[in-house]
Chains A and B, each alone.
Chain A
Amino acid sequence: MIFGAKRRRGHQGFFALFEHLDSTVDACKALRAAGHKGFRAYAPLPEHELLEEGLALKHSPVRVFTLAGGLTGAATGFAFTSWTSMDWPLVTGGKPILSIPAYVVIAFECAILFGALSTVIGLFINAGLPNFRPMVAYHPECSNGSFGVYVTAPPARAARVREILSSHEPAELREDPEGFDV
């Protein structure tokens, strides 16, 4: 479903736009305390207070991708240079056929290259990028100077969510009759 917005059936959507960082953090904390999990916060910068205090995000699995990529790259670099040297053993400059110190350079460069590319793949997989679905739950102010929170809730809990969000003085509170998966 790359090109259509993913609906969350039977849910209602709320988008609250906040002007202040602390009210956003408080709203997120209140939502978490009320048992909401799958909501999204929007910010114009990687604000640690929001990510760590407000949403309690912990480790990112991207680091596993970096490590795996780097190790694969180093192994590939050594394997490639060693295999090609063994494939046609030809002594040049009186050096051993397997000149490990010379191959360290190539293994190192491959480690960096593979590590960097797999970090990007890890980021794309974990962050869900590229994301060309219609931007239904978004506000352009969130790349400028404001923060946002998007929550979906079944009708039974809609009133409680509305109450939590409006108690933190949002600059704008938008309600979608249908909730979206973001």
Chain B
Amino acid sequence: MAAADLARRGALPNPDVRKYEDVNKAVLSVLSRPGKGWWFLFSIAVAGVGVFLASWFYQIYKGIGVSGLNAPVGWGVYITTFVFWVGIAHSGTLISAILFLFRAPWRQAIYRASEAMTVFAVMTAGLFPLIHVGRVWHAYWLVPYPNSRFLWPNFRSPLVWDVFAITTYFTVSAVFFYLGTIPDLAAARDHARGLRKKFYQVISLGWRGTDREWHHFSKAYIYLAALATPLVLSVHSVVSWDFAMAIVPGWHTTIFAPYFVAGAIFSGVALVITLAVPMRKFFGLEDYLTVKHFEAMAKLCMLTSLIVLYAYLVEYFLAWYSGEPPERGSFWNRVFGHYWWANWIMLTCNGLVPLMLWFRRVRRSIAALFVISIFINIGMWFERFVIIVTSLSHEYEPWAWGLYRPSVVEMGILLGSFAWFGFWFLLFTRLLPPVAIAEMKEVVPPPRRGKGAS
């Protein structure tokens, strides 16, 4: 074996995993009968989905007036949560595609779970425009088609770009996720019995692991990763232009695209940590999700947290430096106005708390990372709330300023969206191999004659 190859395999010491069979055994055992804990979480998720649907149906029945949305704040919790979930989706593609192209070997253990997270997060985010439009039976108006007088939508509008970006992102990330799972579904098929075997037989598409399949598969995977990489950067840029293209003080800045992309990766990696910690514990995957993986994710959080903090500070500086009274007023209002608490939650959770990651001991402590990741998730939701709500509530004319208070229905939908996401994620951990079996084998030394599994 070439020395470089050895170094690549050795990049992830996993002393307890010596054989390919160990990987199959550990990962496929997760798919066996669910324990009580899983059923407990699943029933909470189902109940939460009930809250979600009940709130939404109530809003559909009564009208959008049951939310707190009104002039001047026409975008509230729904759009905030939409941007939040789109952001969450980004780390999956970052870890699966960008780190794949950069050949970062630590991605192998976590990328399946984070890709699944991406798909489910986009599924969650995609519901929010439908909720937000109010009259959901007209939601098909979002699709770019001409009206009855053959006038087409305005393709100069960032909201139309967003439809293209989100649809493409959902399709491509779902395809990328499914394609990567096919070899592992074949492994599950060869391991399962009865009805489950039939299920895996169909969804593994008859994968046999022949040279011809692997050859084209690994090439197709590289090209998909190469396409997904610019896509992930474009999607949150387009989402940021929903705001930055409007001449609202606090929105209309060129920093928005990189600032949103960094924030998206920051929140996404944090949610991967939040989900990976319990997964590792409940499914006994300690050999596969090691402290080394968590430390790498913590470093990614550290970097993106600094970018986000820099963006916050630059925004304040530029608002002052611009000399524009509405711009200055908007930012003064953010920090000291009616929504000061939201802004300070954002600064604390996204800027201050992650500074603890500078300590190696914190980065290597899984409990500490779990707690910090929850702070980051809260902070990143508030970041979007601060950007959207405080800017809209404090635009140009003082007589047009106004306040917004989320209603119970909106909070029900916000909390319910987490349950909806959890529902799919829990199903995923039982139906699809939650750790990429074939890719994990790439970091296990291959069996050789004579030397054995050395």
- Chosen A-B contacts, 11 in total, with CB atoms closer than 8 Å, are A20-B449, A22-B448, A41-B210, A44-B441, A47-B214, A47-B446, A63-B219, A93-B156, A102-B155, A109-B238, A131-B205
Please, which residue of chain B has its CB at the minimum distance from the CB of A57?
Answer: B215
Chain A residues within an 8 Å CB radius of B217: 46, 123, 127
- Binary contact readout B197-220 vs A (1 if CB under 8 angstroms, 0 otherwise): 000000001111111111111111
- Choose among A41, A90, A102, A127 the residue with the greatest number of B CB atoms under 10 Å from its CB: A127
- Choose among B189, B190, B214 the residue with the greatest number of A CB atoms under 10 Å from its CB: B214
Query: Are B24's CB and A144's CB within 8 A?
Result: yes
Query: Are B208's CB and A138's CB within 8 A?
Result: yes
Q: Which of B50-58, B228-236, B318-326, B403-411 contacts A (4 or more CB under 8 A)?
A: B228-236
A163 at the interface (CB under 8 A from B): no
Q: Considering only CB atoms and an 8 Å cut-off, how many residues of chain B contact the other chain? A: 64
Q: Considering only CB atoms and an 8 Å cut-off, how many residues of chain A contact the other chain? A: 67
Given A20-B449, A99-B156; A116-B176 close (CB under 8 Å): yes
Q: Which of A6-14, A81-89, A151-159 contacts B (4 or more CB under 8 A)?
A: A81-89
- Binary contact readout A5-42 vs B (1 if CB under 8 angstroms, 0 otherwise): 00000000000000111110000000000000000111
Task: Kindly state the separation between the CA atoms of A169 and B146 in the bound complex, as whole angstroms.
Answer: 68
B152 at the interface (CB under 8 A from A): yes
Given A44-B438, A85-B152, A116-B224; A60-B171 close (CB under 8 Å): no
Query: Are A116's CB and B227's CB within 8 A?
Result: yes
Q: In whole Å, how far is B11's beta carbon from the nearest beta carbon of chain A?
A: 16
Q: In whole Å, how far is B277's beta carbon from the nearest beta carbon of chain A?
A: 27
Please, which residue of chain B has its CB at the minimum distance from the CB of A50?
Answer: B211
Task: Kindly state the separation between the CA atoms of A63 and B222 in the bound complex, as whole angstroms.
Answer: 10
5 interchain residue pairs of minimum CB distance: A145-B20, A84-B152, A140-B190, A131-B206, A130-B205
Query: Are A108's CB and B216's CB within 8 A?
Result: no
Total residue contacts A-B, CB cutoff 8 A: 199
Given A84-B152, A113-B168, A116-B172; A122-B211 close (CB under 8 Å): no
Given A40-B210, A143-B190; A112-B230 close (CB under 8 Å): yes
Give the A-binding residues of B (Cβ under 8 A).
1, 19-21, 24, 146, 150-156, 160-161, 164-165, 167-168, 171-172, 175-176, 179, 182-183, 186-187, 189-191, 205-220, 223-224, 227-228, 230-231, 234, 238, 437-439, 441-442, 446-449
User: Which of these, A44, A102, A133, contacts B209 with CB under 8 Å?
Assistant: A44
Task: Kindly state the separation between the CA atoms of A129 and B190 in the bound complex, as whole angstroms.
Answer: 18
Task: Kindly state the separation between the CA atoms of A70 and B171 in the bound complex, as whole angstroms.
Answer: 15
Task: Kindly state the separation between the CA atoms of A63 and B238 in the bound complex, as whole angstroms.
Answer: 28
User: Which of these, B191, B223, B234, B447, contacts A19 with CB under 8 Å?
Assistant: B447
Query: Are B220's CB and A21's CB within 8 A?
Result: no
Task: Kindly state the separation between the CA atoms of A84 and B165 in the bound complex, as whole angstroms.
Answer: 19
- Choose among A19, A41, A50, A62 the residue with the greatest number of B CB atoms under 10 Å from its CB: A62
Q: In whole Å, how far is A89's beta carbon from the nearest beta carbon of chain B?
A: 11
Query: Are B220's CB and A145's CB within 8 A?
Result: no
Chain B residues within an 8 Å CB radius of A127: 212-213, 215-217
Given A129-B206, A131-B205; A44-B227 close (CB under 8 Å): no
Query: Are A145's CB and B208's CB within 8 A?
Result: no
Query: Are B211's CB and A51's CB within 8 A?
Result: yes
Query: Are A51's CB and B172's CB within 8 A?
Result: no
Query: Are B223's CB and A62's CB within 8 A?
Result: yes
Query: Are A85's CB and B216's CB within 8 A?
Result: no
Chain A residues within an 8 Å CB radius of B171: 113, 116-117
A166 at the interface (CB under 8 A from B): no
Q: In whole Å, how far is B310's beta carbon from the nearest beta carbon of chain A?
A: 26
Q: In whole Å, how far is A102's beta carbon from the nearest beta carbon of chain B?
A: 4
Given A112-B227, A138-B208; A60-B215 close (CB under 8 Å): yes
Query: Are B208's CB and A142's CB within 8 A?
Result: yes
Query: Are A41's CB and B211's CB within 8 A?
Result: yes
Query: Are B205's CB and A106's CB within 8 A?
Result: no
Task: Kindly state the separation between the CA atoms of A34 and B150 in the bound complex, as whole angstroms.
Answer: 67
Task: Kindly state the separation between the CA atoms of A20 and B228 in the bound complex, as whole angstroms.
Answer: 35
Query: Are B438's CB and A22's CB within 8 A?
Result: no
Query: Are A45's CB and B442's CB within 8 A?
Result: yes
